[in-house]
């Protein structure tokens, strides 16, 4: 279906019908509130009242992409990764930062609210280890539940997590082979993995607590886009739409970057003013354990 310009909410519903999807205006409004879609642009009021607000051509195309993805998974946190990926790698302005901020909150949620939500977040954090060739089903489940418990309670027990993670890295050669065969990037050692989980938990907490500003998101995007071009290969298809690889990996990259920002702020605020920026190597090495709760 060819979309050639902006459209009203009626056009979005009509687009969906032409593509074989049955949707309501309520769904469009709900998706706007969750960040899956951006708020439409209001038009000036004329002598006969105001015309209906317009969704941009990018948002109309995004709506179609979301509806197609919903066939495979209707879970809203999963769908929220799509506008986030377009915001990160797609055409400038296709997804504005204000929309990406709402989508990020929707995607991350707050795992402290329920164990099922914490379990879903845990699966997202340790996705590279979700492979039947790594350890046994019992060992993978034990590690998954350890991460879930850390997310749900807010208590980060690095020693317990490390003990649960070690068996999944043995032998190291198999771990690397499995992860790379799936086109993923992952920590090469259990200690590195636990640090990554720690940092991502801090990022998730900052998002859930409303501590991430639009400026923080812009800084994160600038940082990630400054990485070597090879790290961005395969993120968009020929039509400029996010690939499966991009959708699967971009969320983890964002979480780690935002967690690193949270750590940086903590270091800056906790260091004595006379010594800020001049801490010793030993002081900096201890910092990943702070703050005390994720």
Average pLDDT score over residue span 263-284? 56
Least confident of 37-46, 50-59, 173-182: 173-182
Q: How far apart are CA 267 and CA 288, in angstroms?
A: 9
- pLDDT value for 292: 44
Q: How far apart are CA 74 and CA 94, in angstroms?
A: 23
What are 184-240's pLDDT values in tens digits? 666 778 998 899 889 989 998 899 889 999 999 999 999 888 877 656 677 778 777
Instruction: Please state, in angstroms and as integers, the Cα–Cα distance from residue 111 to each residue in 134, 198, 250, following that order.
Output: 26, 14, 20
DSSP letter assigned to residue 288: G
Does the pTM exceed 0.85? no
What are 69-126's pLDDT values in tens digits? 999 988 998 899 999 999 998 888 899 999 999 999 998 888 888 999 899 889 888 8
Indicate whether 281 pLDDT > 50.
Answer: no
Indicate whether 291 pLDDT > 50.
Answer: no
Residues 115 and 149 sit within 8 Å (Cβ to Cβ): no
Indicate whether 25 pLDDT > 50.
Answer: yes
Partner residues linked to 46 by β-bridges: 49
């Amino acid at each position: 279906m060819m979309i050639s310009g902006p459209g009203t909410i009626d056009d979005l519903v009509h687009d969906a019908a032409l593509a074989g999807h049955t949707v309501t205006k309520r769904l469009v409004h709900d998706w706007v509130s969750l960040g899956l879609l951006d708020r439409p642009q209001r038009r000036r009021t004329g002598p006969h009242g105001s015309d209906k607000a317009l969704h941009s051509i990018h948002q109309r195309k995004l709506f179609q992409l979301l509806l197609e993805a919903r066939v495979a998974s209707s879970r809203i946190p999963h769908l929220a990764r799509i506008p986030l990926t377009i915001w990160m790698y797609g055409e400038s302005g296709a997804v504005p930062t204000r929309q990406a901020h709402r989508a990020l909150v929707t995607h991350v949620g707050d795992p402290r609210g329920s164990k099922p939500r914490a379990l879903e977040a845990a699966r997202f954090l340790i996705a590279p280890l979700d492979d039947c060739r790594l350890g046994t089903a019992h060992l993978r489940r034990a590690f998954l539940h350890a991460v879930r418990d850390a997310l749900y309670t807010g208590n980060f027990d690095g020693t317990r997590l490390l003990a649960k993670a070690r068996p999944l890295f043995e032998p190291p050669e198999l771990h690397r082979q499995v992860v790379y065969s799936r086109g993923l990037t992952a920590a090469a050692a259990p200690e590195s993995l636990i640090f990554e989980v720690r940092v991502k938990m801090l990022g998730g907490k900052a998002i859930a607590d409303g501590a991430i500003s639009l400026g923080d998101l812009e800084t994160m995007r600038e940082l990630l886009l400054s990485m070597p071009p090879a790290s961005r290969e395969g993120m968009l298809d020929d039509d400029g739409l996010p690939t499966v690889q991009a959708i699967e990996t971009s969320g983890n990259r964002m979480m780690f970057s935002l967690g690193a920002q949270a750590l940086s702020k903590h270091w800056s605020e906790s260091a004595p003013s006379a010594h800020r920026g001049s801490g010793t190597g030993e002081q900096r090495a201890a910092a990943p354990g702070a703050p005390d709760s994720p």
